[in-house]
Amino acid sequence: MGRKVLLDKAHIEGIRYYDVYRKNGGYAAVEKALKMDPAAVVEEVKKSGLRGRGGAGFPTGMKWSFIAKPEGVPRHLVCNADESEPGTFKDRYLMEFIPHLLIEGLIVSSWALGSNNTYIYIRGEYAWIVDILEQAITEAKNNGWLGKNIMNTGFDCEIHVQRGAGAYICGEETALIESLEGKRGNPRIKPPFPAVKGVWDRPTVVNNVETLAAVVPIINLGGEEYAKIGVGKSTGTKLISACGNIKKPGVYEIDMTISVEEFIYSDEYCGGIPNGKKLKACIPGGSSVPILPANLLLKTAKGEQRMMTYESLSDGGFATGSMMGSGGFIVFDEDQCVVRHTYTLARFYRHESCGQCSPCREGTGWMEKILKNIEYGSGKMSDIDLLWDIQRRIEGNTICPLGDAAAWPVAAAIRHFRDEFEWHVNNPEESQRRNYGLAHYADERQVVVG
Amino acid sequence: MAEEVKKEAPKLFKVTIDNITIEVPPGTSILNAARQIGGEVAPPAMCYYSKLQGSGGKCRTCLVEVAAGSTADPRPMPKLVASCRTNVMDGMIVKNITSEKVIDARNGVVEFLLLNHPLDCPICDQAGECHLQDLSYEHGKESTRYEFSRRTFEKHDLGPYIQLHMTRCILCYRCVFTADQISKKRVHGVLDRGDHAEIATYIEKSLDNDFIGNVIDVCPVGALTDKTFRFKNRVWFTKPVDAHRDCPKCSGKVQLWMRGKEVFRVTARKDEWGEVKDWICNDCRFEKKDTADWTIEGPSHVSRHSVISQGHYEKLEKPNETLVKVLDGRAPKLLMDIHSVSEVNKPTVKLSAIEGPAHSDDFNTAK
C-alpha cells in the first residue's frame, strides 16, 4: 500500500466543506507556514525536491527562487487549472473533492512568494468546479484564512477564480497569462520569462494545481520528510489519472516506488486489462508524450523493470522511453488501432494550435490530413516518411511546446508501430474491417488476467 | 569618478555571425546585428518589423543556431532561436547560412508557409515586391508535397480603399500591430485559431483611420491590397519616383509608382529591408493620384536584384570629357560656333555686299 498525502482524506464525507476539512487537520499548513519566514517556506519546498506536476517536471523550489523581486512591484501566483490534456483529469478530482487542499496550498505558496492577488485559471469546461472553488474561497475568507491581515501577520491575500474559454493552448503558461489579462491566448515569446514579466508585466509564478496542493503536505511533514517518499529525484506522491482499457480507471495517488507493471496489473490500482485481452501499448503521461509498446513499457531497453518515476519513464530518451508528463495514463489493449489513435491526437492538436507560428499552424493540419488518408485506406507508403519529415521540422522550431506536443505522438507512433502504418497502407480494405492486433509488441511474459 | 564612468560609451557586445565579428550595443537582436553585416548573413524575416513593437517571433524564417551563448556561458542553445527576438550576448557565436540545421529548418518553414498559400502570383498585385516570393525563390522547392485542397477564404472589402485576400495571408500579425500602434482604435485582429485563423474586422466593419493605409505597406504578401491600384498595372512596369508634398497629417514623403506621366500608386518609402521609413496618411496614399499634387525629387533607388529594376534608370551618366587632357589642358574650340570663334566669319562683314563668290580677302578687314 503506497503512501498517500494528497488524497488520504478525499473519501471523508463532507471534506469538500470547511468544517469537516478543518476538523481533519486542514489549514494546519497555513498556521505553520505563516509563522515561518517566506524564504524558509521556499527552502522547505526546495528541500522536498518537489517537481512541477503539470508535465515538464521542473523543480518547483528552483522556479520559486527565480522570481524577480523588484521594489514596489507586486508579484503574483497563478494556479494553472486549465487541465486540458487528453487523458489527464487528476486536477479535476482534486479540485472537485478536496478544494480546500488547493486553497490551503495557494495561501501557503502566496505567502512564500509574496503574492497578494493570486489567481486560479480554470478551464471553462470545469464550470461546476468554479462554484466549488468559489464556495471554498468564501468559506476560507469567512474563517480568516483569506482577506486582510491573515492570522495577524499583516499579510493580505485574495484568491480570484478566472474561467478559460475552451482553449487547450491556454494551459501553456504564457498563453494562460495573456488570457488572464483578457487578451487572445497566444503564447508569448520567451524571454522574458514569467518570473520576470508575467501577469501585467509583473513577476509571476505559474504552477499546476497538484504542485500547489503538494505544498501542504510538504509544510506539514517538513521538506526533508516529504523527500523521503519516492525514489531519487522523483520525490513525493503523484496523481495518476488512469484510463483506457483497464478494469479500474480513475485517479490514483502513487508514491513513485511502484513499477509500471504493478500499476497496471495490481488490484490496488488499475486491476489489469479487462475481457482477457492483452496489453498492446500505453501513453504514460498524457496525450503529448510518446506512446510506448508493451515490451518497452514494462521493461526498459536495458532490461530493467520500468518504474513509475520521472527518471525511469524517460529512461532511453525518446528512442525507447517516454515521459511522466502530467500523469495521464492511457492504456491500449490488443484491439486498439495505433493509426486511428494517432489520427485522433493529430486532429486534436490541429484544432488546438493557436495559429501564431507557421510550423505548428500549417504542420499540424498537414499531419492530420495525411493520417486521415492512411486511416481511411487511401494512404501511400511515402506518406509515412513524409509524416516523419513533417514532425521533425515542427519539433523544436515553434514558440511554445504545443508544436513539440503535436510532433512527439506522431514520431513515437511511427518509431514503434511503423509496421502497423505499413499494414494500413498495404491493406486498405482489410484495415477498414479489422485492427492490426498485437503483433510483436506484446510482452511475452505478461500475466494475462482473465 | 562616477560621472566619468557614465560618460563612457556603453560597452559594446562582440558577436560573431557566420564567422564575421561585429560589435553592437547591448539589447540588439541577433537579426539587427546580422543586418548591420548585411548581405546573405541577414536572416530573412516575414513577420518581424523593426518599427512595430512586439512584432516578430511568429514566422520562424529567421531561425538561427546559437553555437555559443556568450563568453561567460559558452554553452550552445539547445534549439534554434528566432533571431528577431533573441538579444545578443557578449561573445555569442551565431550560425545562420553556415549551419545546415538552420537551412533545413528554414526550408521546412518555407514549405509550411507555402502549404496553404494559393501561389497565384500571376494575378497577384504583390508579385514583384512580395517577400514570400523572394523567400520561396531562395529556399523553396520546385514542387510541393502537399496533396490536399488548400484553405480558401472569401475576399473582403475593408472599407473603400483596402481589400483583404485572406487566402494569401501568412498570419504575420504585422497589420494588427500597425493598427494597434499608429491608429487610435484598432478594429481588426485575428479571429479563430490554428490553420483556420483569419485576419478580420469585428463583424464586417471597415478600416477607417487616417493612417490605416499603411497596413498595405507592411503586409509581406498580397493579402492586403490597395483597391485604387488593384489590377491596374504590374509593379515592374511602373517606375518608382521619390516625391513629396506639404501634408498636414503626415510627413508627405512618398514614393510614386508612375508610368509615363500617370501616377498609378502611392506608397511610403521603404528601406533596404523592405520596411516603411515614414508612415503616410490615407490622403497622400489614395487621393493624390495626379502628378501636379507632388513635387518630384527623382527616381528612387531600386535594388538591382529586384525585378522592378528592369527598365528603371535612376540617372543618365554622361561619358567623361577627355578632350582637354588630350589637348594638354587647352579647351577645345567648337568649330560649329562660327559666330564667336571663327576668324573667317566676322559679323562686321556683310556677306550680301560681296559680289560673286566670297574670297578670303573679303574677310581680311585689317587690310
Average pLDDT over residues A266-281: 91
In this prediction, what percent of chain B has a pLDDT beyond 90? 58
Reference B70, options B86, B94, B90, B87; nearest CA is B90
Q: Do A355 and B193 touch (CB under 8 A)?
A: yes
Q: Counting every residue, how long is chain B?
A: 367
Match 519616383 to its residue by C-alpha cell: B241
Pick from A169, A351, A397: CB nearest B60: A397
User: Using an 8 Å Cβ cutoff, are B43 and B25 in contact?
Assistant: no
Based on the domain organization, do B294 and B215 belong to the same domain? Answer: no
Q: Provide the 8-state DSSP code for B66.
A: E
Domain segments of chain A: what residues?
Answer: 18-228, 234-333, 338-433
What is the Cα–Cα distance from A44 to B261, expressed in whole angstroms? Answer: 79
pLDDT computed for residue B187 by the predictor: 83
Do the strands A230-231 and A234-235 form a parallel or antiparallel pair, or are they unpaired? Answer: antiparallel
The neighbour count for residue B63, using CB atoms within 10 Å, is 26
Mutate to test the interface with A, among B31, B58, B143 (most CBs of A within 10 A): B58
Whether the CB of A192 is below 8 Å from some CB of chain B: the reply is no
The residue from B231, B262, B282 where one domain ends is B231
Average pLDDT over residues A101-113: 96
Q: Do B112 and A393 touch (CB under 8 A)?
A: yes
Where residue B26 sits, what CATH number does that domain have?
Answer: 3.10.20.740
Q: How confident is the model at residue A448 (pLDDT cuts 50, 70, 90)?
A: very low
In a domain, B120, yes or no: no
The neighbour count for residue A317, using CB atoms within 10 Å, is 10
What is the Cα–Cα distance from B198 to A446, expressed in whole angstroms? Answer: 51
Based on the domain organization, do B75 and B151 belong to the same domain? Answer: no
Per DSSP, the residues of B191-227 read ES-GGG-EEEETTS-----TTTTHHHHH-SSTTEEET
- Across chain A, how many H-helices and E-strands are there? 19, 12
What is the Cα–Cα distance from A418 to A166, expressed in whole angstroms? Answer: 34
Q: Do B58 and A356 touch (CB under 8 A)?
A: yes
Q: Chain centroid to CA A207: how far?
A: 11
Question: How far A350 CA sits from the closest chain B CA (Å)?
Answer: 7
Whether the CB of B118 is below 8 Å from some CB of chain A: the reply is no
- Across chain B, how many H-helices and E-strands are there? 9, 14
Q: How confident is the model at residue B347 (pLDDT cuts 50, 70, 90)?
A: low
Residue partners of A234: CB distance under 8 A and separation at least 6 = A51, A256, A309, A310, A311, A324
A78 vs B38, residue with greater confidence: A78
Whether the CB of B182 is below 8 Å from some CB of chain A: the reply is no
Based on the domain organization, do B10 and B89 belong to the same domain? Answer: yes
Can you name the CATH fold of A338-433?
de novo design (two linked rop proteins) (1.20.1440)
Based on the domain organization, do B104 and B19 belong to the same domain? Answer: yes
Whether the CB of A387 is below 8 Å from some CB of chain B: the reply is no
Is residue B278 over pLDDT 70?
yes
Is residue A443 over pLDDT 60?
no
Instruction: Copy the grid coordinates of residue A409.
Output: 505522438
The residue from B178, B212, B231 where one domain ends is B231
Instruction: Copy the grid coordinates of residue B319.
Output: 561619358
- pLDDT of A232-241, one tens digit each? 889 999 999 9
- A110 exposure class (CB count in 10 Å sphere: 0-12, 13-18, 19+): buried
Beta strands in A146-260 (DSSP E): 147-150, 155-163, 204-208, 230-231, 234-235, 238-244, 250-254
Residues of A in contact with B189 (CB under 8 A): 184
Whether the CB of B223 is below 8 Å from some CB of chain A: the reply is no
Span between the terminal Cα atoms of chain A, in Å: 24
Match 521493461 to its residue by C-alpha cell: A299
User: Using an 8 Å Cβ cutoff, are A16 and A98 in contact?
Assistant: yes
Minimum mean pLDDT among A135-144, B60-69, B346-355: which range?
B346-355
Is residue A57 over pLDDT 60?
yes
Angle between helices A127-142 and A99-113 (to 10 degrees): 60
Whether the CB of A391 is below 8 Å from some CB of chain B: the reply is no
ipTM of this predicted complex?
Answer: 0.89
Q: Name the closest residue on chain A to residue B65, using Cα atoms.
A: A397
- Give the phi and the psi of residue A119 in degrees, each rounded to 5: -120, 145
Superfamily per CATH, domain A18-228: NADH-ubiquinone oxidoreductase 51kDa subunit (3.40.50.11540)
Based on the domain organization, do B226 and B237 belong to the same domain? Answer: no
Q: How confident is the model at residue B324 (pLDDT cuts 50, 70, 90)?
A: confident
Reference A327, options A247, A228, A254, A401; nearest CA is A254
Based on the domain organization, do B341 and B311 belong to the same domain? Answer: no
pLDDT computed for residue B339 by the predictor: 58
What is the Cα–Cα distance from B204 to B290, expressed in whole angstroms? Answer: 31
What is the Cα–Cα distance from B171 to B191, expressed in whole angstroms? Answer: 11
The neighbour count for residue A19, using CB atoms within 10 Å, is 12
Residues of B in contact with A354 (CB under 8 A): 193-194, 197
- The residues with which A207 forms a beta bridge, in sequence order, are A79
pLDDT computed for residue B344 by the predictor: 60
In a domain, B117, yes or no: no
Question: Per the structure, how many domains does chain B have?
Answer: 4
Whether the CB of B100 is below 8 Å from some CB of chain A: the reply is no
pLDDT computed for residue B3 by the predictor: 47
Reference A421, options A374, A387, A385, A386; nearest CA is A374
B336 vs A252, residue with greater confidence: A252
Match 461546476 to its residue by C-alpha cell: A128
Q: What is the mean pLDDT of chain A?
A: 92
Average pLDDT over residues B326-333: 79
Do the strands B13-17 and B92-95 form a parallel or antiparallel pair, or are they unpaired? Answer: parallel
Question: How far A353 CA sits from the closest chain B CA (Å)?
Answer: 5
What is the Cα–Cα distance from A4 to A238, expressed in whole angstroms? Answer: 9
Per DSSP, the residues of A279-341 read EEEEETTSTTSPPEEHHHHHB-TTSPBPBSSHHHHTTTHHHH----TT-EEEEEETT--HHHH
What is the Cα–Cα distance from B264 to B285, expressed in whole angstroms? Answer: 11
Q: The CATH number of A234-333 is which of 3.40.50.11540, 3.40.630.10, 3.10.20.600, 3.20.20.70? A: 3.10.20.600
Instruction: Copy the grid coordinates of residue B105.
Output: 529548418
Whether the CB of B171 is below 8 Å from some CB of chain A: the reply is yes
| Angle, CA of A391, A396 and A400, to the nearest 5° | 110
In this prediction, what percent of chain A has a pLDDT beyond 90? 84
Q: How confident is the model at residue A382 (pLDDT cuts 50, 70, 90)?
A: very high
Pick from A184, A355, A366: CB nearest B115: A366
Per DSSP, the residues of B259-322 read ETTEEEEEEE-B-TTS-BSS---HIIIII--SGGG-EEEEEPP--TTSGGGTT--S-PPPPPP-
Q: How confident is the model at residue A440 (pLDDT cuts 50, 70, 90)?
A: low
- Residues 264 to 293 of A: which have CB under 8 A from any B CB? none
Q: How many CA atoms are closer than 13 Å to the CA of A196, on its beta-carbon side?
A: 4
Q: Name the closest residue on chain A to residue B78, using Cα atoms.
A: A396
Whether the CB of A167 is below 8 Å from some CB of chain B: the reply is yes
Q: Name the closest residue on chain B to residue A167, using Cα atoms.
A: B193
The neighbour count for residue B298, using CB atoms within 10 Å, is 10
Residues of B in contact with A353 (CB under 8 A): 193-195
Whether the CB of B135 is below 8 Å from some CB of chain A: the reply is no
Q: Do B194 and A396 touch (CB under 8 A)?
A: no
Q: Do A361 and B63 touch (CB under 8 A)?
A: no
Based on the domain organization, do B12 and B99 belong to the same domain? Answer: yes
Average pLDDT over residues A80-105: 94
Kindly provide the b/e burial profile for residues A61-73, where b requires at least 16 CB atoms within 10 angstroms of the residue's own CB: bebbeebbeeeee
Q: How confident is the model at residue B203 (pLDDT cuts 50, 70, 90)?
A: low
Average pLDDT over residues A43-53: 94
Reference A169, options A356, A19, A421, A322; nearest CA is A356
Instruction: Copy the grid coordinates of residue B251.
Output: 510627413
Q: Chain centroid to CA A301: how far?
A: 25
In a domain, B175, yes or no: yes
Pick from A189, A364, A393: CB nearest B108: A393
Where residue B223 sits, what CATH number does that domain have?
Answer: 3.30.70.20
Based on the domain organization, do B64 and B17 belong to the same domain? Answer: yes
Residues of B in contact with A366 (CB under 8 A): 112, 115, 146, 148
The residue from B182, B215, B231 where one domain ends is B231
Torsional sign, CA A245, A246, A248, A254:
negative
Q: Do A386 and B145 touch (CB under 8 A)?
A: yes
Based on the domain organization, do B162 and B65 belong to the same domain? Answer: no
Whether the CB of A184 is below 8 Å from some CB of chain B: the reply is yes
Give the dihedral of Cα atoms A417, A421, A427, A429; nearest 10 deg: 110
Q: Chain centroid to CA B176: how far?
A: 20
Residues of B in contact with A356 (CB under 8 A): 58, 171, 173
Q: What is the mean pLDDT of chain B?
A: 87
In a domain, B116, yes or no: no
Q: Which amino acid is at A331?
A: V
In a domain, B76, yes or no: yes
What is the Cα–Cα distance from B17 to B26, expressed in whole angstroms? Answer: 16
Residues of B in contact with A359 (CB under 8 A): 60, 108-109, 112
Whether the CB of B158 is below 8 Å from some CB of chain A: the reply is no
Pick from A351, A352, A357: CB nearest B58: A357
Pick from B60, B145, B189: CB nearest A358: B60
Mutate to test the interface with A, among B149, B174, B195 (most CBs of A within 10 A): B195
Q: Do A364 and B171 touch (CB under 8 A)?
A: no
Q: Name the closest residue on chain A to residue B102, using Cα atoms.
A: A397
Residue partners of B325: CB distance under 8 A and separation at least 6 = none
Reference A334, options A252, A245, A215; nearest CA is A245
Match 495517488 to its residue by C-alpha cell: A253
Whether the CB of B247 is below 8 Å from some CB of chain A: the reply is no
User: Using an 8 Å Cβ cutoff, are A95 and A7 in contact?
Assistant: no
Based on the domain organization, do B132 and B205 belong to the same domain? Answer: yes
Domain encompassing residue B155: 126-136+144-231
Q: How many CA atoms are closer than 13 Å to the CA of B71, on its beta-carbon side?
A: 6
Question: How far A352 CA sits from the closest chain B CA (Å)?
Answer: 7
Whether the CB of A187 is below 8 Å from some CB of chain B: the reply is no
Question: How far B112 CA sits from the closest chain A CA (Å)?
Answer: 6
Question: How far A425 CA sits from the closest chain B CA (Å)?
Answer: 16
Residues of A in contact with B152 (CB under 8 A): none
Whether the CB of A357 is below 8 Å from some CB of chain B: the reply is yes
User: Using an 8 Å Cβ cutoff, are A125 and A161 in contact?
Assistant: no
Q: Name the closest residue on chain A to residue B113, using Cα atoms.
A: A358
Q: How confident is the model at residue A34 (pLDDT cuts 50, 70, 90)?
A: very high
Question: How far A392 CA sits from the closest chain B CA (Å)?
Answer: 9
pLDDT computed for residue A450 by the predictor: 35
pLDDT computed for residue B355 by the predictor: 82
- pLDDT of A298-356, one tens digit each? 988 888 999 999 999 998 888 899 999 999 999 999 889 999 999 999 999 999 999 99
Q: Name the closest residue on chain B to residue A369, using Cα atoms.
A: B148
Residues of A in contact with B192 (CB under 8 A): 355
Whether the CB of A362 is below 8 Å from some CB of chain B: the reply is yes
Whether the CB of B30 is below 8 Å from some CB of chain A: the reply is no
Average pLDDT over residues A142-155: 93
Per DSSP, the residues of B276-290 read BSS---HIIIII--S
Average pLDDT over residues A420-432: 91
Q: Do B195 and A362 touch (CB under 8 A)?
A: yes
pLDDT computed for residue B331 by the predictor: 77
- Give the phi and the psi of residue A252 in degrees, each rounded to 5: -120, 140
